[in-house]
């Protein structure tokens, strides 16, 4: 690798979020540059708002950094990330979202871990910031992870399924995708469809292939939470769609009639959610209601969707 070849490619995928993207691009000027060259790759995922006009300007370009903008017409976050795999030039590919503010030391923290440990993948800490300054009473701490908050504590290797790295702040050695395959295009946000799960799926695939995943708590991203996500329906819809996707995949080519144990799980989830809401009120029952929404989606996906 010569002095002009980037060591890190930062990939920022965006779809129809021109207002929040503008703020994110402005924050890149505050990054403390790493010791080795890096490039910024922006994937315009079929944007139909003001995003292409915004990206056509150059005033937001970080000083001294190669910037490229690529348009990916196939809608879906995973399709955009897979396009980034094809376009990136860096040895490591680092992903961020269009509604985030990186800590000034973000890139340096990742660079230090990459050089010291040469991992196959890395993940960093994500803090949530309520952009409108209002946190609903029903938004208990246990739910913040569904808004992207992530903290696995001290720096270490991650090797358990329950310690995933999240898509708003993770990195990969670019060559690892030759081993584990691309992002699953069936998962991840797709336009307005509130689909998730692509980041935990690829993390588990990393573990299944024996890849080395490093946790870098000093690489901090602040996820800016907007008002539309501060609705109970956002959480319920997220889990319903996840359940539907997983139900269809679990059935595969089998019978569309669900087995009795799934019916029993569904009924138990509904009963627990209803009981907790009656006992404690709506401010404390959302997590259980999300479980019920998941099983509703799982059954629907099993019975109706193509596996």
Q: Provide the pLDDT for residue 44.
A: 97
Residue 58's H or E segment, with its range, is none
Q: Provide the pLDDT for residue 152.
A: 95
Q: Supply 26's token pair.
A: 């402005």
- Rounded to whole angstroms, the Cα distance separating 141 from 94 reads 28
Over residues 31-64, the pLDDT tens digits come to 999 999 999 999 999 999 999 999 999 999 999 9
Domain ranges of the chain: 8-229, 232-304
Compute CA distances 189 → 193, 209, 289, 299, whole Å.
Answer: 6, 25, 22, 21
C-beta separation of 76 from 188 below 8 A: yes
C-beta separation of 185 from 90 below 8 A: no
Question: Across the 307 residues of the chain, what is the mean pLDDT of every consecutive 10-residue run?
Answer: 80 94 94 95 96 94 94 94 96 95 97 98 94 79 86 96 92 95 80 69 94 97 81 86 86 87 92 92 88 92 83
* Nearest residue to 247 via CA among 293, 203, 208: 293
Q: Provide the pLDDT for residue 268.
A: 93
Q: Supply 176's token pair.
A: 């690892």
* CATH superfamily assigned to domain 8-229: Spore Coat Polysaccharide Biosynthesis Protein SpsA; Chain A (3.90.550.10)
Q: What is the pTM of this model?
A: 0.82
Other CB atoms within 10 A of residue 58 CB: 7
Q: Provide the pLDDT for residue 195.
A: 63
Q: Provide the pLDDT for residue 188.
A: 61
């Amino acid at each position: 690798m010569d002095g002009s070849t980037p060591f890190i490619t930062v990939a920022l995928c965006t779809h129809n979020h021109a207002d929040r993207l503008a703020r994110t691009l402005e924050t890149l000027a505050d990054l403390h540059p790493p010791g080795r060259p890096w490039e910024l790759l922006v994937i315009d995922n079929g944007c139909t708002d003001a995003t292409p006009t915004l990206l056509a300007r150059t005033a937001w370009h970080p000083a001294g950094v190669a910037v490229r903008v690529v348009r990916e017409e196939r809608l879906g976050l995973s399709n955009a990330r897979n396009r980034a795999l094809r376009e990136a030039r860096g040895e490591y590919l680092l992903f961020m979202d269009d509604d985030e503010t990186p800590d000034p030391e973000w890139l340096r923290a990742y660079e230090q871990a990459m050089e010291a440990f040469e991992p196959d993948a890395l993940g960093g800490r994500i803090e949530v910031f309520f952009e409108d300054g209002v946190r609903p009473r029903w938004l208990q701490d246990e739910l913040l992870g569904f808004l992207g908050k992530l903290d696995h504590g001290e720096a270490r290797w991650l090797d358990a399924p329950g310690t995933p790295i999240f898509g708003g702040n993770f990195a990969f050695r670019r060559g690892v995708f030759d081993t584990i395959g691309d992002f699953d295009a069936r998962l991840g946000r797709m336009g307005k469809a509130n689909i998730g799960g692509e980041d935990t799926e690829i993390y588990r695939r990393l573990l299944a292939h024996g890849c080395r995943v490093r946790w870098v708590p000093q690489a901090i991203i602040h996820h800016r939470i907007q008002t539309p996500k501060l609705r109970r329906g956002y959480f319920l819809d997220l889990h319903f769609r996840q359940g539907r996707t997983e139900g269809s995949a679990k059935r595969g080519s089998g019978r569309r009639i669900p087995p009795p144990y799934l019916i029993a799980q569904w009924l138990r989830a509904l009963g627990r959610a209803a009981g907790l809401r009656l006992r404690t009120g709506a401010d404390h029952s959302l997590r259980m209601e999300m479980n019920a929404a998941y099983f509703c989606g799982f059954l629907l996906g099993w019975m109706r969707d193509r596996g």
